[in-house]
């Protein structure tokens, strides 16, 4: 019984150590610069950029490691899109009213908009091919 308890405590301790090591590494992920085609969406320019367009909007925050992981993927998506298809980003810390308007509860949340209206929503890190496929479904 004591041996089992000791083994359990050691395993539990290792899991806790691994968790904190992984968390520290995730915090140190560098920010990637946005592609020139990515729009920084604010409360003031939201209607201007979404009206008459299909826009994939990334709701993100600077402290969010998965959001940092999405940045290069969104850069690739923005590079491949043209016409009325666009990629935008909303910093939820600066523009909480937009996050509240779309009921964003976790980040990253990607919302596909057509004429400013939500068509689809994706939560978490998604791959480029998946996003391109979903964007192309919208006519």
Catalytic residue numbers?
64, 67
Beta strand pairing call for 117-123 and 54-60: unpaired
As a whole number of angstroms, the distance between CA 116 and CA 60 comes to 18
Structure token digits, residue 72: 């290069």
Cα 8 to Cα 96: distance, rounded to the nearest angstrom: 43
C-alpha 8/C-alpha 72 separation (Å) is 40
């Amino acid at each position: 019984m004591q041996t089992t308890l000791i083994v359990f405590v050691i395993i539990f301790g290792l899991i806790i150590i691994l968790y904190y090591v992984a968390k520290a590494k995730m915090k140190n992920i560098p920010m990637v610069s946005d592609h020139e085609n990515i729009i920084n969406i604010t409360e003031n320019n939201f209607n201007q950029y979404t009206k008459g367009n299909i826009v994939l909007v990334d709701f993100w925050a600077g402290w969010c490691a998965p959001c940092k992981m999405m940045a290069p993927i969104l850069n690739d998506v923005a590079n491949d899109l043209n016409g009325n298809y666009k990629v935008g980003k909303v910093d939820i810390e600066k523009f909480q009213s937009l996050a509240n308007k779309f009921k964003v509860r976790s980040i990253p949340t990607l919302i596909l908009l057509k004429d400013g209206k939500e068509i689809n929503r994706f939560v978490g890190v998604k791959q480029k091919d998946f996003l391109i496929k979903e964007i192309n479904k919208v006519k």
